[in-house]
Amino acid sequence: MRPTLSTTEVLNDAADAVTRVAAPWMGLLWMLSLPLRLCQAHFVARVIDLGPESGQYGAHLFGIALAAAAALLPALWARAVFVRALGLSLRRAASPGAEALRVPAASLACYVYAALAIEVLFFALGWTLVALPLLMVMGGLAAAIAPLCEQPGLVRPFREIARHLSHGRVLVGLVTVFAIAFFVVFINLLFVFALGLWLAGAIPGLDPAPWQVLLDFGNERYLLVLCAGALLAVEPFWLGACVVYVHKVRSRQSGEDLRLWFERLRSEAA
Amino acid sequence: MTAVAPLGSGQRLCANHPERPGHALCMACKKVVCQECATEWDGINYCVACLALRRKTVAASSSFFGWVLVAAAAALLFYASVHLMVWTGVFVTGLL
């Protein structure tokens, strides 16, 4: 009997797949996602600074939002490349070469369209916090199913996302694990900076006082940058988990998993 | 409209298989084809070559419209996302 798909199974395979493609594709993902995360952190910091008067600074906020939206496009391309690299590594169990960069135009267009639609939903509903887990899953699945969109279309990406929402228990498990991972990375980054500051105090001639003000827990900008750092650190693993999840769901639907299992049994018997 | 022409046995032969009797007339190239070579699509018979050409043309045109739709939707969503980001920021600070 075929065992049910589990969260730990997806996470184990995702960890292996991400490790295989870490160099250089995770670097590319981080490099192109960093401007986006910093723009988003800057936007939130400005909104907090302006407070209730932020409505009077619409043009200023619009400029930052435009920069963030422009930074989103290269970040989406980097995600598409990373997902393609993960997909190739799952098929060959080896790190892919430059072919990972050749993302088909149709799948990239579908992904950009779906990601922008999810971004709009995020801004419309994200502040309620209730919709966040669903939007998180949709964002991850939109990237993971992009290679399946061989022709551009408005419905296809969302149909594929809906088709892959079948294992709700696994998805809830993944969202929970990655939400915890985000907080763990955040706390770790906080302690790394505190440790760095403490060690800097031991260097003669270096005054850590100004840094202590900047790297203080009460500094909102510092906390926002830490959030951006935590998101950057977790993102490749989240994408990896989504790609592995989609791969496993499709293998089950096509019977590919059984074929591989029989092959393994045959090779073990031989 | 149907492409099945009343072809008598021995009257006309398949253009691809001269040893076989003709079964239908391809509505695109007007060649007589046998039962194996004829494929009905939207109630009209086509030979293999014309069917492949027609499918290619339909795929290309649907792909073109798909590109136009996706590009237009993405541009619209890009514009909406920038405005919505500002509105949400202002709205949330108003709530706090």
pLDDT-derived band at B9 (thresholds 50, 70, 90) equals very low
A120/B81 CB distance under 8 A: yes
Task: Summarize pLDDT for A136-195 with one digit per residue, the tens.
Answer: 999 999 999 999 988 888 999 999 999 999 889 999 999 999 999 999 999 999 999 999
Q: Please state the separation of Cα A43 from the chain's center in Å.
A: 20
Per-residue model confidence (pLDDT) at position A114: 97
pLDDT digits (tens, 9 = 90+) for A189-217: 999 999 999 998 888 888 888 888 888 88
* A32 within domain boundaries: yes
Q: Which residue has the higher pLDDT, A183 or A268?
A: A183
Contact A43 B89 (CB under 8 A): yes
Interface test with B, best of A66, A77, A224 (most B CBs within 10 A): A66
Mean pLDDT of the region B6-11: 50
Tell me the nearest-neighbour CA distance from A78 into chain B, angstroms. Answer: 18
Question: Prior bond to A52 cis, omega within 30?
Answer: no
State CA B59 to chain mean position distance. Answer: 5
CB contact under 8 A, B77 and A55: no
Report residue B5's pLDDT band, with 50, 70 and 90 as the boundaries.
very low
Interface A–B counts its CB contacts (< 8 A) at 89
Predicted confidence at residue B1, as pLDDT, reads: 37
Enclosing domain of residue A23 = 7-102+168-269
Q: A145: buried, middle or exposed (CB in 10 Å: 19+, 13-18, 0-12)?
A: buried
Contacts of B69 in chain A (CB under 8 A): 152-154
Q: Domain total for chain A?
A: 1
- Are A116 and A135 in contact by the 8 Å Cβ rule? The answer is no
Query: Which chain A residues are Cβ-neighbours of B78 within 8 angstroms?
Result: 69, 116
Give chain A as a 3 state SS string: CCCCCCHHHHHHHHHHHHHHHHHHHHHHHHHHHHHHHHHHHHHHHHHHHHHHHHHHHHHHHHHHHHHHHHHHHHHHHHHHHHHHHHHHHHHHCCCCCHHHHCCCHHHHHHHHHHHHHHHHHHHHHHHHCCCHHHHHHHHHHHHHHHHHCCCCCCCHHHHHHHHCCCCHHHHHHHHHHHHHHHHHHHHHHHHHHHHHHHHHCCCCCCCCHHHHHHCCCCCHHHHHHHHHHHHHHHHHHHHHHHHHHHHHHHHHHHCHHHHHHHHHHHHHHC
Of the listed ranges A214-228, A240-254, B52-66, the one predicted with least confidence: B52-66
Q: How far is A75 from chain B (nearest CA, A)?
A: 14
Q: Is-contact A154 B67, C-beta < 8 A?
A: no
Q: φ and ψ at B8, to 5 degrees?
A: -75, 150
* Contact predicate A91/A100, CB 8 Å: no
Report angle CA A7, A13, A18 to the nearest 5 degrees.
120
Q: Is A17 exposed, middle or buried (0-12, 13-18, 19+ CB in 10 A)?
A: buried
3-state secondary structure of B24: strand
Determine, for residues B80 and A113 on separate chains, whether the beta-carbon distance falls below 8 Å. no
CB contact under 8 A, B78 and A116: yes
Percent share of chain B, pLDDT over 90: 25
Phi, psi for B25 (deg, rounded to 5) = -110, 125
pLDDT of residue B7 exceeding 60, the answer is no
B28-48 mean pLDDT: 82
Which one is predicted more confidently, A263 or A174? A174
* Residue A1 pLDDT class (50, 70, 90 cuts): low
Residue A192 covered by a domain? yes
Residue B42 is predicted with a pLDDT of 64
User: What pLDDT does B62 receive?
Assistant: 67
Examine residue A61 and state whether it is found in any structural domain, yes or no: yes
Mean pLDDT of all residues in chain A? 91
Q: What is the pLDDT of residues A69-120, one digit of tens each?
A: 999 999 999 999 999 999 999 877 778 888 899 999 999 999 999 999 999 9
A22 against A239, higher pLDDT: A239
pLDDT band at A19, cuts 50/70/90? very high
Q: What is the pLDDT of residue B3?
A: 41
Instruction: Return the top range by mean pLDDT from A159-173, A176-190, B23-37, B54-68.
Output: A176-190
pLDDT(B59) > 80: no
Q: Is residue A27 one of the residues assigned to a domain?
A: yes
Answer yes or no: is A141 within a domain. no
Alpha-carbon distance A51 to nearest alpha carbon in chain B (angstroms): 6
Q: Does residue A54 lie in a domain region? A: yes
Q: Note the pTM of the prediction, 2 decimals.
A: 0.80
Report the C-alpha gap between A186 and A163 in whole angstroms. Answer: 33
CA–CA min distance B40, chain A (Å): 25
Token look-up 């090779």 returns A267
Average of per-residue pLDDT across A117-139: 92
ipTM score for this prediction: 0.87
CB atoms within 10 A of CB B81: 24
Q: Are the Cβ atoms of B85 and A151 closer than 8 angstroms?
A: no
- Cβ distance of B66 and A153 shorter than 8 Å: yes
Q: Give residue B94's pLDDT.
A: 82
Nearest to A188 by CA among A233, A145, A250, A127: A233
Q: How far is CA B66 from CA A105, A107, B34, B51, in A?
A: 12, 12, 36, 22
Instruction: Tell me the longest C-alpha to C-alpha distance in chain A.
Output: 75
Interface with A, mutate which of B63, B69, B70 (most A CBs under 10 A)? B70
Residue A79 inside a domain? The answer is yes
The per-residue pLDDT for A2 is: 62
Q: Of B69, B83, B88, which has the smallest distance from its Cβ to A154's Cβ? A: B69
Contact assignment for B63 to A152 by CB distance below 8 Å? yes
pLDDT at B40: 77
**pLDDT by residue (tens digit) across A45-70?**
999 999 888 889 999 999 999 999 99
Residues of B in contact with A114 (CB under 8 A): none
Q: What are phi and psi of A165, to 5 degrees?
A: -90, 10
Residue A205 lies in a domain: yes
